[in-house]
Structure 1
């Protein structure tokens, strides 16, 4: 019962956060010029990045509204990552396989890295790049050492590992050092 209750609560929380982000965006959009507070301020990052529009003709294209500057962009809905250089140019993009716990949309930074560990699902992983935690579950990118060990995440386990291929894991490892910005979008 506790698992289904916590999943229900997590679902309600995610819905509430998305609703607040949308309402914040709408409220800002409806404010007449000159009444929006301090000049040069913008909506919170979570409000902007949670509704990033997509180019339907180019699904691998970087979504508009996914932040600025050098960053990792992770789309929870598309299971895709973009590595964006300082000039705003996409240096790489690839598909990923998420764990069972998703980070909320917003802006994070890489907080820790590990060359090789065992994932929460018991699979040996390498090039672990951590950037968030949700209810005690650490969220980060990693690659399975044995690419044949890519089981679908067990929905009964709370896992925060966002799996990438070993090649993509190498690329992420070189790009996402401590302090690197990570933008999570829907």
Structure 2
């Protein structure tokens, strides 16, 4: 009787494991999509493809760049869009990137400084930081001297430079917690 009893328990255990596995599969397959998207300040698992562009108007906000009030930064185009809650572009401008680019993804503004010296030694103002890559802080800033030298390729800097006028607009728009969407 002992051997038939242990076979019965083994069968129940196997059936329970199959049931739990099946239920886990069903739960993961029906989970909402937002549970698997990167959260603020997380590095995306895979590089996103380049967001579609309007070939007739290269300064137009790329489709697929998110929704709601946000800063959109295109690494490939070296362009920023300040977008309001109604998905209208309030301002767009060209920028000069640092030597370290943030990966595509969604971040939030984590800190701001009115005036500091950048990692390349350039005095900057209106610094808006949103992530870091391998210990290099990434953020937008405006050089106090409108024409700073471009950093040497060997200098690791995450400063995304904008004009002082554009820096003022970024400073007013991108407060702590504001969404920043980085695209290719």
Supply the distance in 1 between the matched residues of 2:72 and 2:48 (Cα, whole angstroms).
Answer: 10
Residue in 1 aligned with 2:78? 79
Residue in 1 aligned with 2:166? 168
**Alpha carbons of 1:64 and 1:49: their partners in 2 closer, same or farther (altered >3 Å)?**
farther
Segments of structure 1 that go 5 or more residues without pairing to the other structure are 1-35
TM-score (norm 2): 0.77
Residue in 2 aligned with 1:37? 29
- Give CA-to-partner distance per residue, 1:145-173, whole Å, 9 cap, x none: 1113x211210110000000000000000
Aligned residues: 152
Segments of 4+ moved more than 2 angstroms: 36-51
Once the two structures are superposed, the pairs formed by residues 131-170 of structure 1 within 5 Å of their partners are 131-148=130-147, 150-170=148-168
Larger gyration radius, structure 1 or structure 2:
2
Residue in 1 aligned with 2:179? 181
Segments of structure 2 that go 5 or more residues without pairing to the other structure are 1-27, 39-43
Supply the distance in 2 between the matched residues of 1:126 and 1:108 (Cα, whole angstroms).
Answer: 21
Residue in 1 aligned with 2:111? 112
Supply the distance in 2 between the matched residues of 1:38 and 1:90 (Cα, whole angstroms).
Answer: 35
- Give CA-to-partner distance per residue, 1:23-53, whole Å, 9 cap, x none: xxxxxxxxxxxxx933763673657954311
TM-score (norm 1): 0.76
